[in-house]
Amino acid sequence: MTKPIEIKNRLQTLWHQLYPEPEHQPVLSKLMVEMEDTLSELHFKPQAEGWYKDAVVYSLYIDLFNHTFDGLIEKLDMLKELGINCLWLLPLLESPMRDAGFDIKDYRNIRASLLGLPDTTSQEVKQQEFRKFLTEAHDRGIRVIFDVAMNHTSEEHPWFVESRKGPDNPYRDYYIWNKDTNKYQETRLLFKGMCPSNWEKSGDWYFFHRFFEFQPDLNYKNPQVMLEICRVLLFWLRQGLDGFRADAIPYLWKEEGTDCENLPQTHVILKIFRALLDYVRPNTLLLAEACQPPVEVVRYFGNNDECHAGYHFPLMPMIFKSLAVADATSVMEVLSPEVTPEIPADNQWFLFLRLHDELTLEMVTPEDRKIIHDHYCKQPHWDFRVGEGISARLAELLDRDERKIALAYSIMFTLPGTPVIYYGDEFARLNDDAFYHAFKKETGKDDSRYLVRGPLNWDETEEKLSDKNSLASKVNKRIREMLAIRNQTKTFGRGQLKWVNITLFTSNPPHQPILGYYRIHEKEQLLILQNLSDTMHTITRIDDQTISGENLFTGLKVHSPFTLKPFEYVWIKVS
């Protein structure tokens, strides 16, 4: 455990790397005092080291899931029973809601509607209600993390309202303004097809934005901005939050003559955030949302002094490609050391099949993008960002086929990392066209991601779950079975991965239709075999040996040869 004085010294060194001018020292001094004050106020137990490695994460919008926090509390026992032990709450802070809450208007205020309270309710009362929810979750062994958009705010945020008033306003430098659009010309458009430029005119000036034009980017060259965001982290630590999903972090620092992504100063910013968390409440999760190649994401772990964990964005499309072409090669290649470097023991990948956004195809080759897009974009309006993504629920992508959906989950639950389940996918929730069209009409934005963001109807859902023959019930049963096994062992979250050579009974096909690997932790060795094809296959040998063990789903003894039906999977505890 690093000593507090060492963390403070580290933070001071990092601060001076970004802000070496003597006039910025008082800002650092303020931060140090506020860190000490927060530490003295904190009454929560220390977080367990590496807890996020053993997590099963459930991602939801509170209002769309069950209206309010009270509605969520009603479902906590159900989620616990499903096998969930961490909630990732999608944006819940005060917002005009033009980008599902990622356009933040107030970093310290939860939207009153999510608490079932009037808009005039005081911040103190809202915090009391939020802390009540945290207590309910924690009493059930469920940790809670949520999103903090650190790169940008809403244009309705008071800082930007002031900034807009003119060059002499004290908040002007909280954002990035220019007299023309000739700055940061090498910066790519993230919302291709929806935003024509990274600059938006306001009066005689332009402000810079990486996302929608109503989300101006913060200016971290101003130390006051760094102080303000650090204060936000301290505020939520005092409420008892277990972690933060750091939204859009590759874009935090901007520098002329660069593409404004993954710059060295961005890593210094994250090291400051991490030092703050380590000082006040160690093992508070800092999760990197960086849609970048794995070799870049790994850099956001630093030397265990930046983010604890990060999403593995390129793996998701390769899972879908492997399912589309019935060939395990794509998954194996994306997880090879050449593509995905080995990460330190304290860090972790977060894995997902669907998030709150699209099946993103940013991180794939043009050839793979065409294969995946052609196979899965089954309706024109599912397209997102002109071919760079597909907006559709998991069940829709996988043909509403119970076998394919369960197989995809088997892959995610057994590969190295922490799995994330997107609300509703655990019972085969379908696209919500009505919600998408209503949003499009209300905002004028054709954002197809709203197809996957519709509200749950629990009366309808419970009726489907009670019908053993429904798709919802069949998928839910399979996921419960898998999570019950996963949660009994630390091997899936912490174990090594070892690919296997598979000998099939029939002559080997041109592709590798079986995705197979060992997961090994301490003395436990689990063999995972998954048939990606619509054809039955018999496996005679693994690594040129016969295998025997226990089928973890049935408890029965098994030994090779193994016959796998189309889209079947088996988890074996090897003798």
pLDDT at 116 over 90: yes
Say yes or no: do domains 152-217 and 496-574 share a fold: no
Spatial distance between the Cα atoms of 280 and 305, rounded to a whole number of angstroms: 14
> For residue 71, what are the contacts with CB-CB under 8 A and spacing of at least 6?
62, 65
pLDDT at 323 over 80: yes
pLDDT at 507 over 80: no
> For residue 29, what are the contacts with CB-CB under 8 A and spacing of at least 6?
none
pLDDT at 1 over 80: no
pLDDT at 509 over 90: no
- From residue 553, give the alpha-carbon distance in Å to each of 85, 125, 281, 478, 528: 21, 47, 39, 10, 12
8-46: burial string, b at 16+ Cβ within 10 Å, e else: eebbbebbeebbeeeebeebbeebeebbeebeeeeeeee
| Rounded (10°) CA dihedral 454, 458, 461, 466 | 170
What pLDDT score was predicted for residue 43? Answer: 87
Helix (H) or strand (E) holding 229: helix 223-239
Higher pLDDT, 168 or 354: 168
pLDDT at 291 over 90: no
| Rounded (10°) CA dihedral 164, 189, 435, 477 | -130
What pLDDT score was predicted for residue 94? Answer: 97
Spatial distance between the Cα atoms of 539 and 552, rounded to a whole number of angstroms: 18
Spatial distance between the Cα atoms of 441 and 423, rounded to a whole number of angstroms: 25
- What does the pLDDT look like over 404-457, one tens digit per residue? 999 999 999 999 999 999 999 999 999 999 999 998 888 887 888 889 999 999
Spatial distance between the Cα atoms of 117 and 69, rounded to a whole number of angstroms: 11
pLDDT at 293 over 90: no
Do 158 and 218 contact (CB within 8 A), yes or no?
no
pLDDT over 70, % of the chain: 99
Average pLDDT over the chain, rounded to an integer: 95
**Side-chain-side CA neighbours of residue 560 (13 Å):** 19
pLDDT at 313 over 80: yes
C-alpha 463, offset from chain centre: 30
Indicate the range of 253-257, 440-444, 499-503 predicted with least confidence: 440-444
pLDDT at 40 over 90: yes
Q: Catalytic site residues? A: 247, 289
What pLDDT score was predicted for residue 484? Answer: 98
Local structure of 563: helix, strand or coil: strand
What pLDDT score was predicted for residue 129? Answer: 97
165-168-173 Cα angle (round to 5): 85
The amino acid sitting at 356 is H
Spatial distance between the Cα atoms of 242 and 149, rounded to a whole number of angstroms: 17
3-state secondary structure 82-95: HCCCEEEECCCEEC
Pairing of strands 389-390, 309-311: unpaired
pLDDT at 74 over 90: yes
- What does the pLDDT look like over 185-224, one tens digit per residue? 999 998 877 889 999 999 999 999 999 999 999 999 999 9
DSSP string for residues in 435-482? HHHHHHHHHS---GGGGG-PPP-HHHHHHHHT-TTSHHHHHHHHHHHH
| Sequence spans of domains, the chain | 152-217, 496-574
Indicate the range of 33-47, 440-454, 511-525 predicted with least confidence: 440-454
- What does the pLDDT look like over 544-558, one tens digit per residue? 999 999 999 999 999
What's the topology of domain 496-574? Immunoglobulin-like (2.60.40)
Spatial distance between the Cα atoms of 568 and 537, rounded to a whole number of angstroms: 10
DSSP-assigned letter for residue 22: G
What's the topology of domain 152-217? Oligo-1,6-glucosidase; domain 2 (3.90.400)
- What does the pLDDT look like over 367-418, one tens digit per residue? 999 999 999 999 999 998 778 889 999 999 999 999 999 999 999 999 999 9
> For residue 371, what are the contacts with CB-CB under 8 A and spacing of at least 6?
321, 324, 325
Pairing of strands 86-89, 93-94: unpaired
> For residue 424, what are the contacts with CB-CB under 8 A and spacing of at least 6?
393, 456
What pLDDT score was predicted for residue 356? Answer: 67
Q: What separation, in Å, do the N-terminal and C-terminal C-alpha atoms of the chain show?
A: 38
What pLDDT score was predicted for residue 410? Answer: 98
Sorting pLDDT into bands at 50, 70 and 90, what band is 508?
low
What pLDDT score was predicted for residue 397? Answer: 97
Higher pLDDT, 472 or 360: 472
Return the bridge partners of 557, or none: 550
561 prior amide bond cis, ω within 30: yes
Spatial distance between the Cα atoms of 222 and 234, rounded to a whole number of angstroms: 19
For 534, other C-beta atoms within 10 Å of its C-beta total: 13
Spatial distance between the Cα atoms of 333 and 34, rounded to a whole number of angstroms: 47
Spatial distance between the Cα atoms of 549 and 571, rounded to a whole number of angstroms: 10
Spatial distance between the Cα atoms of 434 and 57, rounded to a whole number of angstroms: 28
